[in-house]
Structures are given as C-alpha cells and as structure tokens.
Amino acid sequence: MRPRPALFAVLTSLAATALAVSNAVAAPTPPADSVSPAVAPAATDTDGDSLPDTWETNGYDANGDGVVDVNLPALGANPKKKDLFVEMDYMSGRLATTAALDRIVQVFASAPVSNPDGTTGVAIHLDAGSARGTKYDLGGGNEVTYDADLNPSGTQTTAIKTASFASARKAVFHYMLWGDSYDGGCSSGQAFNIPNDTFIVTVGPKCNWNATDDINVGTFVHELGHNIGLKHGGADHLNYKPNYLSVMNYWFQLGGVLKADGTKYWGYSSVQPTSINEARPDERVGLGSLGAGYLTKWKCPNGTTRTTAGAANQPIDWNCDGDTTDSTTAADINGDKTTSTLIAQNNWANLVFGGGAVGGGSELQSKTPASELQELTHEEWTEMQHR
C-alpha cells in the first residue's frame, strides 16, 4: 500500500476526533498520548480474493501515474468471483502439458467455494505466454535459461523472477517456475513460505522424476496450496494423516486423493473427517461418515503402508493386528514416531488469498530450509510406491 497524502491523514484524524467526541457518552475518552494513528480504510474487496474491486473493475495502476499497468478485466478478473493469477515461467521441457493445465483449472473451477455472483469455484488464470495456446497466454510466461539445480533455491528463484516477471504484476500474479531440481536435492517443489506469492515445481530429469501429468498437476496444486495458506497437516504441519484428504498430504500429492469410486482427486480437502487420537484410536468408526466417498492410507507399527480396501467410513485396522475392533490401543498411524491427535482440515474453507506481495502486501524472504517446507523427495515417493 502506498503512503497516504498528508492532507488526507489530517482530515481523517480530524474526522476521527469528531467521531470520538460524538461517541463520548458511549466510550471513555482515552488519554491524549494513547491516540493511535488513523488507519486508511481497506479497499473494498467484495469477493475476498485480495484483489480490490477497483483493480478488478478498472485495472491496476502500480505506480500511480494514472496509466493502468495490469489490465485485470482484460485478463478475466471478476470483482464478484475469486480469481487467482499465476505467471508460469519454465525451463526447456519442464512446462506442463495443456492437458495438465486444463486439469489444474478444473480443480479450482469445481471447488466448493461460493462467490458473490452466485457461482461456485475459483477462477485460476494460468499464464504460460505463447507456449500453450491463447487459452493460457496472458502475455507473461516465458522460457528461462536451463539450470538443473537452483542452488541456493531462494536466491536463484528470486533472480530469475526479477529478470522475467514484470514488477507491476507482483500485486496481482503469483509467480511460479517449472524447473528441474534445487538445493542439490531431489525435492518435488518449494513454496519458500506459507502463505506466499512464489513457488517452484522441480520434478525434472536430474532426479529421474519422469514427470507425468499426474505428478505435474499434484505438485503444482500442492505448492500453490502453500502460497494460499495450506500446510501438510491442515492447521499444523503433521504429515501423512489418513483423515486429511488433500494433495497437501504427502500420501496424496503425487498419486491423487483416492476416491471410493476408484477415481482420483487432485485438489484440496473439502471435508474435515473426525479427529484420530493415536493414544486410543477407535478402529470401529474409521474416518466417520465424512470418509464415505474416499479410500485412505496409513502406516502400520512395523512401518509398512496400508490402503483401505473400501470406503473409509468403514472400520479400519489402525494397529494392523488383523481386527477392526480396537479402541484403547495406541498406534502411530501417521508414522512420525510420536503419539498425537490427528486433526484434519477442510482446505477450501481455509484458503488465504493475498500471500506475499499479492493484493498489495510485502514480498517475503525465503524461509527455507524450514521443517514445514521440506518437500516430498523422489526417494520418498519411490519408497511409497513400493511398500
């Protein structure tokens, strides 16, 4: 937000004083030295996507010179529907296919998120420049120089972003990069902070990812999820919770959330099934009624992985002893060697729009390496598939 003109501050301060006087009966007058500075009224944002109505209606003038720099209405913004804009730059061979981009758009379009215009879903606008046809060309995405290892990832991503992303877009667009690998490792991606405005997807050849559309879609949606406030455990960072039916959960990032009808879902959780107390998980209730549409996965005490044979509202053998009747036996169901209560989250009901510079905030420093942002590696994914 730009500083307000001094005259406006004075007028606002006078108005606040007048208001305080008129309310004198209701509110005790504070001591003179405790009067807080007047705060500028927040811009109206009818749909809550962090993009003010004025930007979505008239365009965004980044430097205040009266010329629109980012023409949001022309880019498809709607002041009464939640919009997400993502500029995608890419190294050679790394950009997801048009089919994968279509799937990402569909995940957001079908989200159970309501809008002031009466529709549901989030409109995500992906910009690959000219590489994937007019549908994904908002004039910004471009190929960048191939670097098989972004190292250090925060610094090198910022350098590429600075060179390849119009600074006027920072308040509107998330920035992402389809790369190969980073920090000398084989992690699938990185969002640097939660929430944030920047992320990378790094499922490239250096670590033999052989990235399919599934892997590209799951990782893109996962990393963007961090940008919009989502964590590996919902409100916390506990991973591998069987009741957290989201691509934010490593069980499901690369293989999809498993539906009871045999299909896979590549988005965020839309239900919050019952919590599981690992000190005495009740096998008889499974994930409860909200687990009805899903299968799930969990860890046995010997470290092996199980997947439910049927819908997860049925009883589940959490301690893997062959019955589904235990209710007082401890079991480390998410395999983190601690006993916790595993609490799920309805992700779609907890999105945070406006991370980092998006919506006019400040850019954030990279927090990596941070424990909550150590992402799924190729080795972990290979292990997961073979157990």
Binding residues for Zn ion (CB under 5 A): 375
CB of 239 to Zn ion, least distance (A): 9
CB of 142 to Ca ion, least distance (A): 25
334 belongs to the binding site for Ca ion (CB under 5 A): yes
Footprint of Ca ion on residues 215-274 (CB under 5 A)? none
Q: Which is nearer to Ca ion, 125 or 161 (CB)?
A: 125
197 belongs to the binding site for Ca ion (CB under 5 A): no
Q: Which is nearer to Ca ion, 177 or 300 (CB)?
A: 300
87 belongs to the binding site for Ca ion (CB under 5 A): no
Q: Which of 319, 345, 347, 366 binds Ca ion (CB under 5 A)?
A: 319
Q: Residue count at the site for Ca ion (CB under 5 A)? A: 17
Residue nearest to Ca ion (CB): 83
45 belongs to the binding site for Ca ion (CB under 5 A): yes
List residues bridging with 174 in a β-sheet.
86
Q: Which of 87, 197, 223, 317 binds Ca ion (CB under 5 A)?
A: 317
204-223 footprint of Ca ion as x/- string (CB under 5 A): --------------------
Binding site for Ca ion (CB under 5 A): 45, 47, 49, 51, 56, 78, 83, 278, 317, 319, 321, 323, 326, 332, 334, 336, 338
